[in-house]
Amino acid sequence: MRLTSRGRSTERSAAGPRLARAVTVEQILAGRAINELVTLPARVVSVEDGAVNLRSSSLNFVASFDGAGTTVSDLPPGSDVQVTGIAVVRFQNGGVNALRMRLRSAAEDIRVVHKAWSWSSARLLWILSVLGTVALLSVAWSVSLGRTVREQTATIRSAMEAAQSSARAPRASSSPT
């Protein structure tokens, strides 16, 4: 069961609720968040089967799910998220070398702060080509319509001139002989 208290996530256990501590990358790199429930802002780098590759500040890390078959398909790269999970760190040469976060599920432990634009460049190119085609067809139709209007105007003008000239022409009168 998950609760929230003043913006902090909690997890109920047999010993009572555990608050997820908000941490920074600097605290993790200093070794002050080892195997504890933490929450960390991050940006999605990529999504794989059962894991999300994230970047927070200068640290790239992987958030993986405890449950088998958990996937995150609707989280585009570039999205800003708040990740809550167990921070598992690896030390090398006396300092933190790598971070991996263990999550229960995407629905519980990944909160989307800002979802990235998910249109691919191929989709954008396709839409732009359709819009360009519509624009070209509109211009062609407009030019054709203008030509038709000019032709009809010329036809009407010549018919009017012919009618006016025939009205002005002297009429031959029949004289009695």
Last residue of a domain, one of 114, 137, 156: 114
8 and 52 in a single domain? The answer is yes
What are the pLDDT tens digits along the chain (177 aa)? 343 334 444 444 455 456 788 888 888 888 887 888 899 999 999 888 778 889 988 888 999 887 655 567 678 888 999 999 988 888 888 777 788 889 887 778 888 888 887 777 888 899 999 999 999 999 999 999 999 999 999 999 999 999 998 888 776 555 555
33 and 104 in a single domain? The answer is yes
pTM of the model: 0.57
21 within 8 A of 38, measured Cβ to Cβ: yes
Q: Residue 145 sits in which domain range?
A: 119-167
For the segment 44-96, what is each residue's pLDDT rounded down to a tens digit?
Answer: 998 887 788 899 888 889 998 876 555 676 788 889 999 999 888 888 887 77
